[in-house]
A = this chain, B = another copy of it.
Amino acid sequence: MNDFTSSVADAKIPDATVRRFSLYLRYLEDFERSGISSVASGVLAERGGTTAAQVRKDLSFLGSFGKRGLGYSVKELTGVLRDVLGLDSVWRVALLGAGRIGTALFRYEPFRARGFHITTVIDNDPGKVGTRLGDVMIRGEHELECALREDRTDLVIVAVPAPVAQALVDRVVAAGVRAVLNYAPAQLRLPDDVALRNVSMTVELESLSHALTRLRRCR
């Protein structure tokens, strides 16, 4: 009844659109919980701070399965978005660095529910290696390649100090991992076929600081 086969005509979808898919999915799950079975583009737009036209254009990358006059089936749209975002697979994740950020991210529940399983944790602090973080044993830095291969890691989260980040991801990439989420303030150099996302508190804060400065100067 709902197999949602990958009939997705996977052209290249703009990155901005993919990020919005993530948000739409979040809202749709709320709607599903509230028992709402169909939503119009305008509703999703208001929820997500964009425009109805933007929502429709975004969704048009996935084909056309809205019902004119009614909107989109929450259930169907959820399925299609999960499919295009690749959330029906389980992704095997390795965490590099079990420091403050690393452990906070590790304990963040929602992403387990979305199929991201942290199966490997690596740190080089002798006081941490051999201890457990949740249900995962922390392994030493020298076991990196070995661990990635054993666990068939798909994706790596970098939460080590910036100066060691590049050397570690080089090894990670050599071991065949094709996706990196980087929290270290380092500009990582990776081959083109490895996907990279950077999260930087400093960049966000400084961009806010710029905005505040502008506000101040204009008044």
Contacts and interface: CB of A to CB of B under 8 A. Distances in A.
A214 B22 contact: no
Interface in A103-152: 103-105, 107-108, 110-111, 114-116
Contact of A203 (B23, B49, B89, B217): B23
A2 interface: no
B199 A201 contact: yes
A194 to B, nearest CB: 9
A207 B47 contact: no
A130 B187 CA distance: 40
Considering residues A206, A207, A213, which has the most beta carbons from chain B within 10 angstroms of its beta carbon?
A: A206
| Identical copies of this chain, number | 2
B110 A185 contact: yes
A181 B204 CA distance: 7
Interface of A: 6, 10, 13, 15, 18-19, 21-23, 25-27, 47-49, 84-87, 89, 91, 100-101, 103-105, 107-108, 110-111, 114-116, 154-155, 178-181, 185, 187, 189, 193, 195, 197, 199-215, 217
14 contacts: A15-B207, A25-B206, A26-B202, A49-B189, A85-B207, A86-B212, A89-B209, A89-B213, A100-B108, A179-B211, A180-B208, A195-B211, A197-B204, A197-B208
Given A105-B201, A178-B215, A181-B201, 8 more contacts: A49-B187, A85-B207, A85-B213, A108-B201, A115-B209, A155-B208, A197-B208, A199-B201
